[in-house]
Amino acid sequence: MKEKKILTSDAAAELVKSGDVVMVGGFMGCGSPPEILSSLEKAGTNNLTLVCNDAGWYMPDKGMVNGVAPLVLNKQFSKAITTHIGLNSEMQRQMLSGETDVQLVPQGTLAEKIRSAGCGLGGFLTPTGVGTEVEEGKEVIEHDGKKYLLEYPLKGNVALLHASVADKAGNLLFARSARNFGPLMAMACDLVIVQADKIVEIGELDPEAIITPSIFVDYLVQTVNAEGK
């Protein structure tokens, strides 16, 4: 099987272009690729649309800054599609002041929008958000006596993910709760770049244990500082 190219994190960050829709794996930073994000912060690429579960931790007084938070602080996102920004006061400030267009989406809906894009579906019906602000501007469809919102798929240009182990073909394992949105985003983006803590030879991974198949992955980045979260 063909091997995927292994890039430095700086080279990987250069593949992200201004204006891109960037999907970043992770849940409160757990599952976000720290070294690729750090290079992207350094590159300063802006006018990006962020798709991520949350905006990471931004509580500098407690020494808690992770995930996409430094890029939020750097104003690299002009738009964010996310579920929760409660632990990032800067993202809340940018939303309330109108500096960043933040769209809050229910977490299950965000997951399914991404999954739909990756699975070739035109959308789905969910009961989540019926009778709330989430319903505004959406089609309500009644089926079997129950109301649902019609939600559309969400595609991205680039996915930035963090795997625990990759083989050189790009098959991925994720560490424990760091899996979250990773496998879904890998299917929904044109370009998929994965920071892997360990890269092994093709054939070393148990095919029954692989979580994300290699065909979704374009580039690998070997983690330099494995202690980093």
Partner 1 sequence: MEYKPNKNVIAKRIAGLLTDGSVVNLGIGLPTLVGNYVPEGVDIILQSENGFIGLGPVPEKDSIDPFLVNAGGSPVTMIDGGCFFDSSMSFGIIRGGHVDYTVLGVLEVDQDGNLANYKIPGKMVPGMGGAMDLTVGSKKVIAATVHFDKKGNSKLMKKCTLPLTAQKEVDILVTDVGYFEIKDGAFILKETFAPYTADFVKENTEANLIVAEDFKQVEIV
Query: Which residue lies nearer to partner 1 by CB, 8 or 128?
Result: 128
Task: Give the nearest distance from C-beta 18 to partner 1 in angstroms.
Answer: 26
Which residue, 26 or 45, is less far from partner 1 as judged by CB?
26
Counting contacts by CB under 8 A, is residue 32 touching partner 1?
Answer: no
> Binding to partner 1 by residue 6, rule CB under 8 A?
no
Please select the residue that binds partner 1; options are 24, 28, 37, 154, rule is CB under 8 A: 28
Q: Is the distance from CB of 223 to CB of 37 less than 8 angstroms?
A: no
Give the footprint of partner 1 on residues 60-99 (CB under 8 A): 82-87, 92, 95-96
CB of 153 to partner 1, least distance (A): 13
Q: Which of 126, 188, 196 is nearest to 161 (CA)?
A: 196
- Give long-range contacts, CB 8 A cutoff, 24+ apart: 66-70: 66/28, 66/29, 66/32, 66/34, 66/229, 67/24, 67/26, 67/28, 67/29, 67/32, 67/37, 68/24, 68/26, 68/32, 68/37, 69/29, 70/37, 70/38, 70/41
How far is it, in rounded angstroms, from Cα 91 to Cα 103?
11
Q: Is 5 in the site for partner 1 (CB under 8 A)?
A: no
Asked whether the beta carbons of 82 and 55 are under 8 A apart, the reply is yes
Q: Which of 9, 45, 49, 53 binds partner 1 (CB under 8 A)?
A: 53
From 60, 108, 141, 215, residue interacting with partner 1 (rule: CB under 8 A): 108
Smallest separation (angstroms) from partner 1 to the CB of 165: 12
Pairwise CA distance, residues 38 & 27, whole Å = 17
Chain residues binding partner 1 by CB under 8 A are 27-31, 53-54, 57, 82-87, 92, 95-96, 102, 104, 106-112, 115, 126-134, 164, 174-184, 211, 229
